[in-house]
Amino acid sequence: MKKLMSIILVVTMILTIFMLPGCGNTAAPATTAAPATTAAPTTAPPPTYPTGNITVLVPFSAGGSTDLVARIIAEPLGKLLGQSVVVENKPGGGGAIAMNALATAKKDGYTIALTSLGPAILTPNQGEVGYTNKEFQPISQISALPSLLFVGVDKGYTTLAELVAAAEAKPGEMTYSVSGAGGTGHVACERFLLELGQPGLFNMVPFDSGTEATTAVLGGHIDFSFGDDGDTADYLAD
């Protein structure tokens, strides 16, 4: 029988966004007009995009909510574009590995990323990770999921006050999991602790995906987690 989890608090919304490398504006080279008596050379029109496979980078491990969204839309997107759309997971570094790969990819539209606000915005604003958010061009928002604070039902916490009281009894010992350091869940929890006036009350443990972060709570290895309902829906208590 699967273990169940209880939601204590809905924190924020996690946006999933398609992005591609930023495209700079390059001025066209100057040309000399042909004489009026000279016929313009005939050239073939440029090929219509896309003419080859498209790679979608995902900054998290397979099985998480971002990965699932990418794989759900990959097939219909490929049919729409007439080319294969291949999902490639590049977890690690709070999403920095995938976003660095995107930043250095050829700016031709054949490498894009399906990411959340954490890797795209939050991670590069917390330190040097090899890229900034200015290097990317958003294409479209794909989904929005609520970010949740949840615990295993066997922990016995039913309110946020009970969870905080338990942590205050042993400050610095209670752990929480997130899908990547510097992501939405990490920032939300640290902001909460600052408002509470107790930074360091909880210890953050990062994982490469929301699925792994959730599994750690289900296994009793982590006290609670910040994640989205895409990772936790199958385990929530009624």
Mean pLDDT to the nearest integer, 20-43: 52
User: Residue 7 has what pLDDT?
Assistant: 66
Give the SS3 label for residue 47: coil
Mean pLDDT to the nearest integer, 207-219: 87
Q: Tens digit of pLDDT for each residue in 69-94?
A: 999 999 999 999 999 999 999 998 88
Domains and CATH numbers, the chain: 5-12+147-235 (3.40.190.10), 14-20+52-145 (3.40.190.150)
Q: Shortest CA distance to 102 belongs to which of 57, 142, 132, 147? A: 57
Q: List the 202-206 sheet strands across, edge first.
A: 85-89, 54-58, 111-116, 5-21, 136-152, 224-228, 174-178, 202-206
Q: Tens digit of pLDDT for each residue in 18-27?
A: 788 876 444 4
Listed in sequence order, the residues at least 6 apart from 35 whose beta carbon sits closer than 8 Å to its beta carbon are: none
Task: State yes or no: pLDDT of 238 exceeds 90.
Answer: no
User: Residue 27 has what pLDDT?
Assistant: 41
- Pairwise pLDDT comparison (231 vs 166), residue with the higher score: 166
Task: State yes or no: pLDDT of 3 exceeds 80.
Answer: no
Task: State yes or no: pLDDT of 188 exceeds 50.
Answer: yes
The model's pTM is 0.73
Task: State yes or no: pLDDT of 236 exceeds 60.
Answer: yes
User: Residue 233 has what pLDDT?
Assistant: 65
Mean pLDDT to the nearest integer, 3-11: 65
Query: What is the pLDDT of the chain when averaged over all its residues?
Result: 82
Task: State yes or no: pLDDT of 13 exceeds 80.
Answer: no
Mean pLDDT to the nearest integer, 197-210: 90
- Pairwise pLDDT comparison (196 vs 45), residue with the higher score: 196
Using pLDDT thresholds of 50, 70 and 90, give the confidence band for residue 2. low
- Pairwise pLDDT comparison (79 vs 145), residue with the higher score: 79
User: Residue 231 has what pLDDT?
Assistant: 66
Preceding peptide of 50 cis, ω within 30°: yes
